[in-house]
Structure 1
Amino acid sequence: MGQLLSHPIEDKTIDYHTRQTLAYCVGTMQGYRMSMEDAHDVKVNEDESLAVFGVFDGHGGKQCSEYLSEHLPRAIFRTLNNWHKALVGIPGAKPIELSQYMTSIKNAFFHIDHELSSMPHLLNCGSTGIVTTIIRDRYIIVANTGDSRCILSVDGVPKTLSFDHKPILMNERIRVENSNGYVLNNRINEILALSRAFGDFTFKAPYIDNTKNKYILQNRKYFKHDLVHLPPELFQVTVEPEILVYDLHQTTPEFIVVACDGIWDCYKNTKIVQIIRDKLALGWKLNKIVEFILQDCLMMANNYTGIGFDNMTLIIIAVHSNSNIDEWYEHMKAKVLREKNLL
């Protein structure tokens, strides 16, 4: 768990914004950690057709997560926003394909990680990264590397839009072992508890010795050299994001939650959706709900389970394209009360 403070730093940064078609609130808190290693960023274009939300949970220092917050959402936003601008005023222009969005976002992850590799002061730290991109009335695209998480609430039911990348998962473990690594005590080489991350370059050697690799020895005829070059997708710890898409043509979710693992250690997906909806039924705004959840996580701190001691970063997003934010609050309040037979 690392070094902890004897008393938590409970100061919270709450950043609440309401716009014409969406509202969001970002909350952060250092908690019991010696320093704040989380970082985040939000980018929204002028007509709100594109919004990018990024959460980054650093380990081994804050330098990596801070670099990501400054560069990754901006890179994704700049590329996609330029595409949108290029289509404005072109009669009959075809909309951008989903595959183009996904490829561009994935390439941005690889590009930023490559930039990090050339910075000596960042070689010994790493960070998770989750980026939620909202293309209005079309898609929610979530690209995740690590164990931060994004979920949606659809009529009170949590819809998972990311999966945690842990070494004990079979597909992750196979990649680790095929690149001459091993998993012990749920950690790669007994060190790292994540199987995908930015940075952590000691786990990203571009070559492996095929004389020690069981997979290569079993398929020797395909490998003719003693050192085999690995693409970054096959590193022991890869930065390759897993991308999941929610189609907004079907229905608009009630809200979106993006958070680091410090939140998800304390809350299951179903529980956090329930808490948010219950507070909306009481007439609470997003900023008050975010502050409550951060404080509640802190109150859950438990020496036996280890939960509640991490840095906390939480974003709640409400997409209300067909109404203003006040109407959305009233709609959510009435909806939850009706479900509880209180209205």
Structure 2
Amino acid sequence: MKSELETQYSKISHTSTSSAESSDRCRREEGSSERKSGELVYGHVSMIGRRRVMEDAVTVAPPGWLVGEYYFFAAYDGHGGDKVAQACGERLHKCLEKHIEKAKKVPEEKLDWEKVMVECFSSMDEEFGENVSRDESEQMEAERKMGSTAVVVLVGKEEVVVANCGDSRAVLCRGGVALPLSSDHKPDRADERERIEAIGGKIINWNGWRVEGVLSTSRSLGDHYLKPYVTSEPEVKISRRSEYDEFIIIATDGLFDVVGNGVACEVVKRCLTRQRRRYKKSGASEAAAMLDEIKKVVFEIDANGSGVRIGFQRFTTTVVGIYH
């Protein structure tokens, strides 16, 4: 008989596409892990674009394994290969659980989400560093150049906790207004440039601003050949939930490089509202309506974007619908 913990982990969804070959210049991958529970409903879509290898990963875990009733959502955008994103998708939530349990052992002390997240990300990054430092082979040298951004979103009954490392993004739609829950870590961001240059690093404009002329994000997990300039430390933001919260978009930069927060939220809101009306007429549940529409959202953004076809981009998007 499975233990309660094993039962909970069996409900955790980790989706990625390690490789994909197609005669099409654009290939779209859809996740099949949508579920509903309580007041949230969620689903995700991944598009491989022109790439042969899908380096993104996404993880969704229901309440029951973290402290309190928190949902776990995460998107990982790999580069240089898919190994780091894959590892994050498979293990970062388990690593987070261990650090939460460690923090809970301190009596009468409120959980410090920032400390827990920073320690969790650091542990994962150290694991990658240990693996690549054991061998100086050509393969290990290649793995030193692999990395992944990470945006982790925990949705509780009263708050939303976001830990972001890199240029993936989380955006909340509240009362029709797009509210960023994270800030992109770009080399030309003033505080990031200052941090990197203060320790001897260089920000070079090589087809866009890049750390040492190579990496277009200033924070990530992995990328050990660019340490200490590229750090794995996440920025953590905690937001109180509101009765006006509608949905959260969690996506890698392939989406937000093409459309802004406002456009993305407008399209998602239009899609979900349209489908909700259809289901109300048929007597089906609101949750079912939202689930049915989530996978269509990205494709409508594709048709309503800024003139650049999203279909040629590689990205992953998770939509978390909040219904009251």
TM-score by length of 1: 0.73
CA contact (8 A) 1:299 1:308 kept: no
Partner of 1:317, secondary structure, is strand
In the alignment, residue 253 of structure 1 is paired with which amino acid?
Answer: D
Partner of 1:130: 151
CA contact (8 A) 1:165 1:196 kept: yes
Partner of 1:255: 247
Mapped partners of 1:148, 1:199: distance in 2: 15
* 1:239 alignment partner, one of 232, 235, 254: 232
* 1:170 alignment partner, one of 190, 207, 212: 190
Partner of 2:321: 318
Partner of 2:55: 37
Partner of 1:90: none
Instruction: Provide Cα deviations, 1:311-334, integer angstroms capped at 9, x if missing partner.
Output: 2211111234xxxxxxx5xxxxxx
Describe the shift of the 1:247–1:11 C-alpha distance in structure 2 as closer, same or farther (beyond 3 A).
closer
Describe the shift of the 1:83–1:103 C-alpha distance in structure 2 as closer, same or farther (beyond 3 A).
closer
In the alignment, residue 237 of structure 2 is paired with which amino acid?
Answer: L
CA contact (8 A) 2:272 2:294 kept: no
In the alignment, residue 197 of structure 1 is paired with which amino acid?
Answer: S
CA contact (8 A) 2:173 2:246 kept: yes
Describe the shift of the 1:153–1:300 C-alpha distance in structure 2 as closer, same or farther (beyond 3 A).
closer
CA contact (8 A) 2:263 2:305 kept: no
Q: Deviation at 1:45?
A: 2.5
Alignment length, in residue pairs? 277
Partner of 2:135: none
1:49-64 equivalent positions in 2, closer than 5 A: 49-64=69-84
Mapped partners of 1:64, 1:75: distance in 2: 14
How big is the alpha-carbon RMSD for the aligned residues of Structure 1 and Structure 2?
A: 2.8
Partner of 1:36, secondary structure, is coil
Partner of 2:296: 292
Partner of 2:222: 199
Percent sequence identity over aligned pairs? 26
2:161 pairs with 1:157 = no
Describe the shift of the 1:283–1:305 C-alpha distance in structure 2 as closer, same or farther (beyond 3 A).
closer
In the alignment, residue 109 of structure 1 is paired with which amino acid?
Answer: F
Mapped partners of 1:50, 1:63: distance in 2: 27
TM-score by length of 2: 0.77
Mapped partners of 1:35, 1:299: distance in 2: 24
CA contact (8 A) 2:146 2:222 kept: yes
> Which structure has the greater CA radius of gyration?
1
2:161 pairs with 1:141 = yes
Structure 2 unaligned regions, length at least 5:
1-21, 133-139, 277-288
Partner of 1:97: 110
2:35 pairs with 1:17 = yes
CA contact (8 A) 1:45 1:81 kept: no
Q: Deviation at 1:251?
A: 4.0
Mapped partners of 2:196, 2:23: distance in 1: 34
Mapped partners of 1:110, 1:270: distance in 2: 33
In the alignment, residue 173 of structure 2 is paired with which amino acid?
Answer: S
Instruction: Provide Cα deviations, 1:193-232, integer angstroms capped at 9, x if missing partner.
Output: 111111111111xxxxxxxxxxxxxxxxxxxxxxxxxxxx
CA contact (8 A) 2:250 2:317 kept: yes
Mapped partners of 1:23, 1:73: distance in 2: 20
Q: Deviation at 1:293?
A: 3.2
In the alignment, residue 131 of structure 2 is paired with which amino acid?
Answer: M
Q: Deviation at 1:287?
A: 3.9
Q: Deviation at 1:288?
A: 4.2
